[in-house]
Amino acid sequence: MSTNTDTINAAVRLESNAANEVEASVVEGNRGDVPFTIELLLNATQHERESLDAIEESISTLRISLEQRRKVIDQQDEILRDLSESLSTTRRRLNAKRRQIEILG
């Protein structure tokens, strides 16, 4: 789970860097330095893409983890149902034997 947290934190940092680059591009654009502004905006969009990729990877990992947990829960549920049925069957047999002993004894 810490890997997902690390990935999300990295995505947040990328988003923050992108926002900073957009702000810097506005300042540079106001100064008239258009080529530098365009470069900052291109960098910002690249950071945005990387951030989205990181978030998507994290979501994918979480989905896989959820599927695995559901399978385990289903297996546990099946085991518990089988155990419950086994205990019920054993209890019925013991009760039947006790009745036979009472009748015979």
| Residue 97 within any structural domain of the chain | no
Give the up-direction half-sphere exposure of residue 22: CA atoms within 13 A in the CB hemisphere.
Answer: 11
- Predicted local confidence at residue 80, as pLDDT: 95
Distance CA 21, CA 74 (A): 48
Whole-number pLDDT of residue 90 = 95
C-beta of residue 62 within 8 angstroms of C-beta of residue 43? no
Domain of 42 in residue numbering reads as 2-77
The answer to whether 92 touches 100, Cβ cutoff 8 Å, is no
Q: Is the pTM of this model over 0.75?
A: no
CA 47 → CA 52, 57, 86, distances in Å? 9, 15, 58
Number of domains the chain is built from: 1
Interval 24-82: pLDDT, tens? 766 766 676 667 677 877 888 888 888 888 889 888 988 999 999 999 999 999 999 99
The answer to the question of residue 82 being in a domain is: no
Distance CA 40, CA 12 (A): 18
Q: Is residue 93 part of a domain?
A: no
Question: Looking at the predicted structure, is the pLDDT value of residue 4 above 80?
Answer: no
Q: Is 33 helix (H, G, I), strand (E, B) or coil?
A: coil
pLDDT score recorded for residue 34: 64
Question: Residue 90 falls within a domain, yes or no?
Answer: no
Indicate whether 102 belongs to any domain.
no
pLDDT at 33: 62
What pLDDT is stored for residue 105 in this prediction?
A: 67
